[in-house]
Amino acid sequence: MVPVPDRDSARYWAALANGALELQHCRDCGHWTWPPRPVCSGCQGENLAWEPVKGTGKVYSWVVNHRAYAPEFAALVPYTIVLVRIDEQDDILIPGRLLSAVEVYQDLRVRAAPERLTDDIGDLNWVALLE
């Protein structure tokens, strides 16, 4: 299912289309903001710069989805959705499908696996980092 970007998120989706996970980084307070928003979640300022993050984190929680909630997902069922706490900041939990066929557990290390859907829109899923 292709996301519908808005004026605040277009850059985020475009970066993913180009293979990069970029988030808004505040030049005033240093906070990272996700999902993309017009103001910083740390200081509510607008002095935000798009910057790539490392793209790594660890699984906080997960579900195994057995039901296709929309026809687009029917071919994927069952699939695992992980909620990933990114390394840059504790309070950012980003969901995505776990593409690796591994046993999932809390704190499993993962990295972002962006995928191009259209020229302007990419997808964000996760793969296990084997250390």
Partner 1 sequence: MSETRSRFPRRQAAIVGIGCTEFSRDSGVSTFKLAARAVKAAVKDAGLRVRDIDGLATFGVNDSISPNVLAQALGIESMRYYVDQWLGGSVSLSVLGQASLAVSAGVAECVVCYRALNGRSEIRLSGSSSSRMRPPWDMQFRVSAGYIAPAQEIAMAARAHMLRYGTTSEDLGRIAVLSRHNALDNERAMMRQPMTMEDYLASPWIVEPFRMFDCCLETDGAVAVVVVSAERAKDLPHRPVLIQGAAWGGGVNIVNNGRTDLAESPAKLIADRLYSAAGVGPADIDFAELYDCFTYSVLSQIEGYGFCEPGGVPAMLAKGAFDRARGSLPINTHGGLLSEGYIHGMNHVFEAVQQIRGQAAHRQVARHDVALVTGQLGYVSGYSSGVILAGG
Site for partner 1, rule CB under 8 A: 1-6, 9, 33-35, 41, 60-67, 69-70, 72-73, 76, 78-79, 81, 83, 85, 89-93, 95-97, 106, 117, 123-125
Q: What DSSP state is assigned to residue 9?
A: T
Burial-class residue 48 by CB neighbours within 10 Å (0-12, 13-18, 19+).
buried
Closest alpha carbon to 84 in 66, 97, 73, 69: 97
Q: Which does 34 bind (CB under 5 to 8 A by kind): Zn ion, partner 1, none?
A: partner 1
Q: How far is the CB of 19 from Zn ion (least distance, A)?
A: 27
Residues 131, 122: Cα–Cα separation, whole Å: 27
Choice between 33 and 125, CB closer to Zn ion? 33
Do 81 and 67 form a contact (C-beta atoms < 8 A)? no
Q: How far is the CB of 45 from Zn ion (least distance, A)?
A: 5
Q: How far is the CB of 75 from partner 1 (least distance, A)?
A: 11
